[in-house]
Structure 1
Amino acid sequence: MAADPLSATLFALADPTRRGLLARLAQGDATVSELAAPYDMSLAAISKHLKVLEGAGLVSRGREAQWRPRHLEAEALKDAWAWLDDYRHFWDRSLDQLGRHLEAMKRAGAEDPDR
């Protein structure tokens, strides 16, 4: 497993099934059976995915009588969001530069109709 929390989070998010489980949990707590319903896989396979999510701090396990509903721990996504946000700034700057370059090319083309 990953040594640091960000790596654990990114590893957990790398799998589409785990992302689907998180999306479902964003709507509210759910049991393993409820989480497994839309998937063509065993409860054991879903439990393994949940264990990865729990290890990354993205999901917690509650206890209500005999039920153990899972709960989304969205706070754990904060570090991943901050890391990705740095790249958003990079892309914003890059796209702004591209926009300025295209505008300059457009102006140059308008000034030289033989182009």
Structure 2
Amino acid sequence: MDNLFVGGEKAGFYVGHTEAICTGSLAGHNAARYCADRYLIQLPTNLLIGDFISYSNNEMSKPDGEKLRFTFAGSIYFDRMKELGFYSIDSNVARERVRKASLEGLYDKKII
């Protein structure tokens, strides 16, 4: 469906409030962009949330993938976060990644 935007635990395989906030914020932002007839944002995989969504969707499409749960607090994706160097408590590291992706202030911009 072109006009269905789902985030958080409603997506089915994300577990946790942080995951729900991140994916829900993107879904809501894209819903507003859709209503304003603007292009939709797909976060790149060099950002944690972009990789999380891409990786989770890919893994879920595999046999028995619907039984998997993805979270930043442990489990499958937490290990991947560490492997890729996404795990950091330094907010400046995340801020710099977002800046390099030219997405700084994305949610601050008025859509409608």
TM-score (norm 2): 0.25
The answer to which structure has the higher strand fraction is 1
TM-score by length of 1: 0.25
Greater helix proportion: 1
